[in-house]
């Protein structure tokens, strides 16, 4: 998967503009297919999917932009037969990274309804995007050498919803959080 500063490499095969939609057919520039869930790569394909995969991209000139690609399938020793990974989208997502990352940044600045309206998606989709990006970007070693922690509860929606947060006092960063309150949430 791409690292910070790495740009996905794909070749545009065709562009179709119809009404309020731009459809861009792409193909990857790499020769080896990669499993979307692990680093396994291969040049041997299992077969080709019968339908194109599509991902919503950033709007283009006020039009919804969709990337499409006919993906190959591979047989991963750990995950079985699955469609190849693409650099420009997270596994299981119908959106490109370039669409998801700004949507999540915007979600940290305002409410889900505003983000949903701005991005032209449903507010449930905004929550799902946030979950994927957080899973992708969270440092798996954030609990290593964690000694001095703080636990706090915050409420919203007139004190009917609670969030329990754990912070690292040394770095001042939140390292974990969950819905709920009291000791049950920490369990």
125-155 tens-digit pLDDT? 998 998 898 888 877 777 787 888 888 877 7
R_g of the chain, CA atoms, integer Å: 20
pLDDT for position 17: 93
* Nearest-angstrom CA–CA distance, 67 and 58: 10
Q: What is the largest CA-CA distance in the chain?
A: 57
Mean local confidence (pLDDT), 90-102? 93
pLDDT > 70: percent of the chain: 91
Question: How is residue 162 annotated by DSSP?
Answer: E
34-89 tens-digit pLDDT? 999 999 999 998 998 889 999 999 999 889 999 999 999 999 999 999 999 998 99
Tokens of 93: 């997502």
pLDDT for position 1: 41
Instruction: Name the strand (E) or helix (H) holding 14.
Output: strand 10-18
Residue 82 and residue 42 in contact, taking contact as beta carbons nearer than 8 Å: no
> Minimal CA–CA distance to 133: which of 103, 163, 162?
103
* Nearest-angstrom CA–CA distance, 69 and 63: 19
* Nearest-angstrom CA–CA distance, 140 and 10: 29
Q: How confident is the model at residue 98 (pLDDT cuts 50, 70, 90)?
A: very high
Instruction: Name the strand (E) or helix (H) holding 184.
Output: helix 182-186
Q: Is pLDDT larger for residue 40 or for residue 168?
A: 40
pLDDT for position 23: 95
pTM, full prediction: 0.74
Query: 187 pLDDT exceeds 80?
Result: no
Residue 89 bridge partners (DSSP):
96
Residue 121 and residue 102 in contact, taking contact as beta carbons nearer than 8 Å: no
pLDDT for position 3: 45
- Does residue 137 sit in helix, strand or coil? helix
Please tell me the least confidently modeled range out of 17-21, 102-106, 157-161, 166-170.
157-161
> Minimal CA–CA distance to 55: which of 100, 115, 14, 101?
100
């Amino acid at each position: 998967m791409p690292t910070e500063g790495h740009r996905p490499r794909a070749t545009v095969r065709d562009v179709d503009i119809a009404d309020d939609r731009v459809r861009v057919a792409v193909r990857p520039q790499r020769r080896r297919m990669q499993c979307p869930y692990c680093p396994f790569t291969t040049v041997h394909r299992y077969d080709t999917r019968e339908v194109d995969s599509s991902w919503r991209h950033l709007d283009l000139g006020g039009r919804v932009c969709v990337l499409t690609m006919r993906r190959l399938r591979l047989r991963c020793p750990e995950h079985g037969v699955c469609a190849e990974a693409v650099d420009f989208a997270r596994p299981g997502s119908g959106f490109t990274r370039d669409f998801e990352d700004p949507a999540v940044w915007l979600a940290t600045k305002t409410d889900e309804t505003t983000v949903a309206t701005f991005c032209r998606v449903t507010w449930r989709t905004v929550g799902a995007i946030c979950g994927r990006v957080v899973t992708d970007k969270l440092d798996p070693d954030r609990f290593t050498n964690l000694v001095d922690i703080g636990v706090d509860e915050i409420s919203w929606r007139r004190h009917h919803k609670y969030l329990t947060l754990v912070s690292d006092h040394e770095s001042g960063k939140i390292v974990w959080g969950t819905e709920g309150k009291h000791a049950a949430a920490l369990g």
